[in-house]
Structure 1
Amino acid sequence: MMSPRALLPCLQGLLLLLGSFAQACPPPCQCYDGTKVFCSGEEIWGIPEGLPGNATQLFFVETSLTAVGSGAFGNCSSLARLVFLNNPGLALEAGAFGERSSLAELEVSGSNLSALSSAAFGSLLELRNLFLTFSALRALEPGLFNRTPSLEALHLQGNQIETLPPTVFSPLRELRVLDLSHNPLAPVPDRLFDPLALLQVLKLSNISLTRLPLGIFRPLRSLKELSLDRNALADLPPGAFSGLSRLQRLELQHNALTSLRSCIFSCLSNLDVLNLEGNRLSALPAGLLRGTPKLGQLFAASNRLETIPEGIFSNLLQLQTIVLSHNQLTHLPAGAFRDLFNLTTLQLDHNNLTTLAGDTFHNLLSLEVLGLAGNRLQALPEGIFDSNDYLFGVALKDNPWVCDCRLASLAGWIRNWSAPLNSQTFCTSPDHLKGWALPALPQEQLVCLAAPGPADSSLSPGEAETARAPCTYNDPEGTVQLACDTAACHRLTVHLPPQGDSTGRGLAYNRNWVLNSSCGMVRVWVTIRAEPGGTAREEEAGSHNPCSEP
């Protein structure tokens, strides 16, 4: 949220663009286009005399204004917008705005104003927008809005309001926007919002809510946006959102929710955005989203989810974004994202995924961005992205990639389509490739030195590949490699120097090495000597169990 002080440079720049030169104004104010007046400076202690009578917008920014008394703007009959920004000592006396029926917008932000009299606004019958923000208001008097019946937007965020009179909003039958965020409000009176039948936006972020009164939102049948984020809600009562059939956006992030009833969102037939991020959810009910067919964006990051129910997205044909980052997902059910033809963004990063089925993303024909970073993936099935023609951003870093033949297809895809994003995606094994960045890895390095044994039919393809992944033992020069798995050592590769023996009869060779890997150490010796007829005899032997710990 941007503070009033942060807005000051933008406001000054805007005013400078509005007029080509300053017209006559009471110093130290500046006038633009004859209708916009900007007054700033600590030397301003009161409302300057001689303000242009045809001014429509008037700004007081970082002044020493104290009391604004009755009739202070009596000369400004055309005034439509009045802004007080960062005037710490400001106080509004009864009748401060007189009978200014032309005033449509009033803002008082960044002051030490702690209370307002019910007579402070006079009779502002045409007032549409009222901002009383980032100040020190502690309470609102009953009847404060009795003489502002045309209000459409009321912003009270960033104050110290602790209580609200149950009928304080009763006169505001035209209100469309109400922002009570960032106040220590809880609890909220049960029937506080009953008169606001036309309300479209309600923001209750960070107001210390621990519970929702039963049916508190039911009268708000025009509501399109509801923000309940950054509170302490541990539960949502049955029917919490009953009657909100027009709701399009629901913000529930950063609460203390541990579970959700399967029907809690069933009446939200027009919901487009649902944010559940930063709660304590360990599971999502299978039918949670059946009543939200128009859902376009789902955010459920930073929870404790271990999996997602099969078919939870099955009716969401308009879904474009799914964010499941920073959970504890260990696996995804078969067809988890089936038929999501409009999905463009899928974030699965920072979970505990070890394998993915080859068809996990095959139906995601519109997918553009995929996050898989920070999991436990060692390899991905060949061709896993073959159906994703629009996929350009795949984040794969911080996984324990095994850079052998099983990663060849993925490494080639990264080089062609997603190299910059994966410049920090590294091999963790085999040892001689550890630390190599996948986009820079030569394709010829991606080989399997051990012949895979028979697959265990009880394992999934990904698990079987992981089980037979070899340990590769190397000499420091990299001229000798010995590949072993948990059962046996399968293949020895030796790069011999191009030389013959001293007799000239053919190649003769005799040498031994100590090879090391993260699995342990093995000693190998090789003797090759020429035999009559031009054939060669090869002998090799090793000591030390290659599968033991060092």
Structure 2
Amino acid sequence: MEMLQKLLLIVAIVTQMSTWLVYTCPTNCNCAQYRTVTCSQVSSLKNIGPDIPKDTNKFEVREGQFYNLQESDFADMPASSFLQLKLTNGQLTDIQQYTFKAMTRLQILDLSNNALQQISSPDLFKPLSYLQLVDLSGNRLNDLPSGLFASQSNLQELRIAGNTNIRNLRGPSFQGVTSLVKLLASGCSISTLENDLFSAISSIRTLDLSYNQIKSLPNTDSFRLLQKLQNLTLQGNQISALNDGQFAGMDLDTLDLSKNLIATISPNAFMYLSGVGNLDLSGNRIHSLPAYVFQPISSKVYNLKLNNNHVLINLPPEIFNGMHKMNTLNLSSCAIKLLSEEHFQQVPSLRQIDLSNNWLKYLPQSFFDKAMYMQHVKLANNPWNCDCLIKPLHNWLQNPQSSNIIYCTEVPEMGFRGNCQSPKCSSPQNLVNRDISRLLPNDIEDCIKTGTSSSAPVGIIVGVLAGLVVVVIIILIVACYLYRRHKRGDPLICYEPAKDEEVEKKKKKKHRELKAVQGVRKLSREPKGGRGDRDYYREKKENRKIDAESSSLNESDKSFVVRNFFHSMMPDPDGHSEGTHSQSMARKDSIDSLSQSGYGYNSRPGSRHSSQYSLNAGYKIESAV
């Protein structure tokens, strides 16, 4: 019995081997194991059909030289057993309606990199209800017919990248793709995303629209329909701004907005975005970032790229607040001039950082406190200023471990450092091109107390500006207070009514004195004619001259002159000369004469005649003598 079983087994093996031996393989094809047939440069599928093994389930033709496909091309093939059909890099331009009628088990259809200009029948894929992947990329399609994938409820991935004639994506083209998780549409000419598109592909998780002509993102309500979206790639478009709540309702792992024209980012651009781990804003025109723009997503970011924003000069100190999971940070090829202590206090998990090709002169101590725990640090091509503030970098380079951390080129997969040079001084002049790691203690100046960190100049500037603001506010308050008092008619603070009343009294007194002088002049006139008349006119002429001179004196000056004049008229007891005695006597007589008329020097206080008029009277008496 055992011998019989062994004999039957040998017969079965021989029969199977004979079956393999009779299998034939078409010319220019490779019929490998696992029921896979791969052909190249085939001019006609009909000619190789009879030689295709009957149990083939993977059939591939590369660089085919046929232009059309129709049902008869697969008539002699085991098409019903095909699970994968790949016709790539050929010259295919058209596919007839029932070409795939017999391929009911097909799961993968790859027609990439041909010359297809259109799909004429919307029922082309109708028999292929088990399709999971369709690749139409690299063709010349200008549209996808409505209902083309209506029967593809199992379709998970659709590739249409590289069809440069596709201008927009419409919802009806994706009807029925309820299981679609990946749509790759990069490198087309898409400028418009119709509002009904997102409801049709609501199950999608990866959406690649890179290198198209999209200028603005859809409104929040449209994006909100993509509740399952995890990876959104918009690289290489023409987006210029990110508006408030642009990605509200999403929970992304990757958001790639690199190589656009973004210059403005709203402070609330990422508001209501549940999170994003890998955020790429590189290659844009960002010149500044709002201080808390990343706050809504900070707890989930692990990779942040801001490199190649060539006009990005400064980063707010709070920009990385809350990014406790951030592992990789790329700030290379910007124009960053300053990084402060605060920038690196909120990133405990940072392991890779690229600061190359910036305008950094210093780095704070907090950076090097983290650097010892990093894997890759890139600092090349920065204009380091080797004064006292370079000490943290100098000390870090002295540590032997830093040589295993610092890199100057892209880190290869094998982890080799490449040929890196130590950072060099760009200033001052006496240290140009010196290795910072080799600087001596005498080469580095001591920091003064006014600033021992790179953030000190910023603090001084902020303090000065704050002081100016306070002064301006005080001036405005005072001005408003004075204006309101003036408008109510209240006297100003410096106004003293008593002094103003005194000035007014002096004016009235002066006016009375002028009238009194005029009366004195009338009393002192002599009758007309003779010598007295001539003396009167001579005296009047002189008085006009004296009055003009005396009018320029103030009240105190006039009083002083009057007193001195009358004192000079008194007799000099020590005078011995006759001339002097005569002159003194004459002056005395004049004083007596003046006293009799009520205008004398010894007039009682409170008399209605002031010193002004005494002065004028004195001048008259002297002139008469």
Q: Does TM, scored on the shorter chain, surpass 0.5?
A: yes
- Distance in 2, Cα, partners of 1:263 & 1:149: 39
What is the CA-CA distance between 1:414 and the residue it aligns to? Answer: 3.2
SS of match in other structure, 1:69: helix
Instruction: Give the superposition deviation at 1:26.
Output: 4.4
User: Alpha carbons of 1:132 and 1:29: their partners in 2 closer, same or farther (altered >3 Å)?
Assistant: closer
CA contact (8 A) 2:142 2:166 kept: yes
Pick from 227, 230, 238: which aligns with 1:256? Answer: 238
Letter in 2 for 1:174: N
Distance, in Å, in 2 between the alignment partners of 1:283 and 1:385 is: 32
Choose the corresponding residue for 1:233, options 214, 221, 224: 214
Q: CA RMSD in A?
A: 2.8
Pick closer, same or farther for the CA change 1:252–1:73 going to 2, 3 Å. farther
Q: Tell me by how many angstroms 1:401 deviates.
A: 0.6
Give the corresponding residue for 1:218.
Answer: 199
| Residues 319, 460 of structure 1: alpha-carbon distance in 2 compared, 3 angstrom cutoff | closer
Q: Does 1:343 align with 2:319?
A: no
Quote the residue 1:148 is aligned against: 128
Inter-CA distance 454–125: structure 2 relative to 1 (3 Å threshold): closer
Amino acid across the alignment from 1:409: P
Match of 2:430 among 415, 429, 432: 432
Contact 2:280 2:305 in 1 (8 A): yes
1:75 to partner: Cα distance: 6.1
Instruction: Give the TM-score normalised by the residue count of structure 1.
Output: 0.70
Equivalence for 1:138: 117
Give the C-alpha shift of residue 127 in structure 1.
Answer: 0.4
Report the AA paired with residue 261 of structure 2.
R
Cα distance, 1:387 vs structure 2: 4.2
Task: Evaluate the alpha carbon distance shift between residue 379 and residue 260 of structure 1 in structure 2; reply closer, same or farther with a 3 A threshold.
Answer: same
How far, CA to CA, are the matches of 1:434 and 1:79 in structure 2? 71
After superposition, residues 342-421 of structure 1 pair within 5 angstroms as 342-387=325-370, 390-416=373-399, 417-419=401-403, 420-421=406-407
State the AA in 2 paired with 1:66. Answer: S
Matched residues in 1 for 2:39 and 2:143: separation? Answer: 30
Residues 223-252 of structure 1, C-alpha deviations (whole Å, 9 max, x = no match): 110001000100112134231111110000
User: Structure 1 residues 254 and 336, CA, compared in 2 at 3 Å: closer, same or farther?
Assistant: same
Structure 2 SS opposite 1:384: helix
Contact 1:110/1:134, CA 8 A, preserved across alignment: yes
Rounded to whole Å, the distance in 1 between the matches of 2:51 and 2:127 is 19
Hey, what does 1:291 align to over in structure 2?
272
Q: CA deviation at 1:283?
A: 2.2
Letter in 2 for 1:108: L
Per the TM alignment, residue 72 of structure 1 is displaced from its structure 2 partner at its CA by 2.0
* Alpha carbons of structure 1 residues 173 and 71: separation in structure 2 relative to 1, 3 Å: farther
Identity of aligned residues (%): 23
Judging changes above 3 Å, is the alpha-carbon distance between structure 1 residues 305 and 291 closer, same or farther for their aligned structure 2 residues? same
Once residues 240 and 281 of structure 1 are traced to their aligned partners in structure 2, the CA distance between those partners, rounded to angstroms, is 21
Q: 1:444 aligns with which of 441, 445, 462?
A: 441
Q: Do structure 1's residue 115 and structure 2's residue 94 form an aligned pair?
A: yes
3-state SS, counterpart of residue 243 of structure 1: coil
Mapped to 2, the partners of 1:371 and 1:314 lie a distance apart of 22
* Residues 303-312 or 108-117, more deviating: 303-312
The whole-number CA distance in structure 2 between the counterparts of 1:30 and 1:153 is: 24
- CA deviations on 1:60-102 (whole Å, 9 max, x unpaired) are 02x3x22213992586332211011123346433232347222
Conservation of the 8 A alpha-carbon contact between 1:107 and 1:132: yes
Task: Find runs of 4+ consecutive structure 1 residues off by over 4 angstroms.
Answer: 22-33, 451-456, 462-466
Query: Counterpart amino acid of 2:378?
Result: A
Q: Distance in 2 between matches of 1:60 and 1:85?
A: 6
Q: Which deviations, in whole Å up to 9, do the C-alpha atoms of 1:90-116 show, x marking residues without a partner?
A: 643323234722211000111011111
**Which string of whole-angstrom CA distances, capped at 9 and with x for unpartnered residues, describes residues 403-453 of structure 1?**
1222122122134344352534321112232123334x234364128x748
Do structure 1's residue 244 and structure 2's residue 226 form an aligned pair?
yes
For 1:148 and 1:95, locate their aligned partners in 2 and report how far apart those are by CA, in whole Å: 17
Q: Distance in 2 between matches of 1:32 and 1:135?
A: 24
State the alpha-carbon separation in 1 of the partners of residues 175 and 29 from structure 2.
45
Q: Secondary structure at the match of 1:101?
A: helix
Deviations 1:290-327 (A, max 9, x none): 33334110000011112222222224312110000011
Task: Please list every run of 5 or more consecutive structure 1 residues that lacks an aligned counterpart in the other structure.
Answer: 1-21, 37-55, 467-550
CA contact (8 A) 1:88 1:110 kept: no
Q: Distance in 1 between matches of 2:141 and 2:280?
A: 30
Structure with greater helix percent: 2
Q: Distance in 2 between matches of 1:393 and 1:103?
A: 49
User: What residue in structure 2 maps to residue 167 of structure 1?
Assistant: 147
**What amino acid is aligned across from residue 37 of structure 2 in structure 1?**
L
Q: Aligned AA for 2:215?
A: A
Q: Tell me the CA shift for residue 190 of structure 1.
A: 4.3
Once structures 1 and 2 are overlaid, which stretch shifts more, 241-250 or 286-295? 286-295
Please state whether the residue corresponding to 2:80 is helix, strand or coil.
coil
Distance in 1 of aligned mates of 2:30 and 2:211: 42
Find out whether 1:461 has 2:456 as its counterpart: yes
Is the 8 Å Cα contact of residues 169 and 192 (structure 2) preserved in structure 1? no
* Residue in structure 2 matching 1:92, options 57, 65, 69: 69
Deviations 1:430-480 (A, max 9, x none): 2232123334x234364128x748569xx95155899xxxxxxxxxxxxxx
- Paired with 1:308 and 1:428, the residues of 2 have a C-alpha distance of 29
Unaligned runs of 5+ in 2: 1-19, 409-419, 462-625
Separation in structure 1 between the aligned mates of residue 30 and residue 49 of structure 2, nearest angstrom:
18
Q: CA deviation at 1:388?
A: 5.3
Aligned equivalent of 1:199: 180
Query: Aligned partners of 1:464, 1:287: CA distance in 2, in Å?
Result: 28
Contact 2:450 2:456 in 1 (8 A): no
Match for 2:314 among 309, 318, 331? 331
**1:149 offset after TM fit, Å?**
1.6
- Change over 3 Å in CA distance of 1:414–1:189 after alignment to 2: same
Q: How many residues align?
A: 419
SS at match of 2:60: strand
Instruction: Return closer, same or farther for 1:414/1:291 CA change in 2, 3 Å cut-off.
Output: farther
Q: Secondary structure at the match of 2:118?
A: coil
Counterparts of 2:334 and 2:349, CA distance in 1: 23
1:105 matched to which residue of 2? Answer: 84
Matches of 2:398 and 2:387, distance apart in 1 = 16
Aligned equivalent of 2:288, options 295, 301, 307: 307
Greater share of strand: 1
Cα deviation, residue 217, structure 1: 1.6
Quickly say closer, same or farther: Cα 1:345–1:430, change in 2 above 3 A: same
Q: Is the partner of 1:217 in helix, strand or coil?
A: helix
The equivalent residue for 1:497 is none
Deviations 1:525-544 (A, max 9, x none): xxxxxxxxxxxxxxxxxxxx
| Letter in structure 1 aligned against 2:445 | C
Look up the match of 1:321.
Answer: 303
Structure 1 counterpart of 2:254, which letter? Answer: V
Q: TM-score, normalised by structure 2?
A: 0.62
The answer for the alignment partner of 2:263 in structure 1 is 282
Instruction: Give the counterpart letter for 1:93 in structure 2.
Output: Q
Distance (whole Å) between structure 2 residues aligned to residue 388 and residue 435 of structure 1: 24
Partner Cα separation in structure 2 for residue 60 and residue 197 of structure 1 = 34
Paired residue secondary structure (1:428): strand
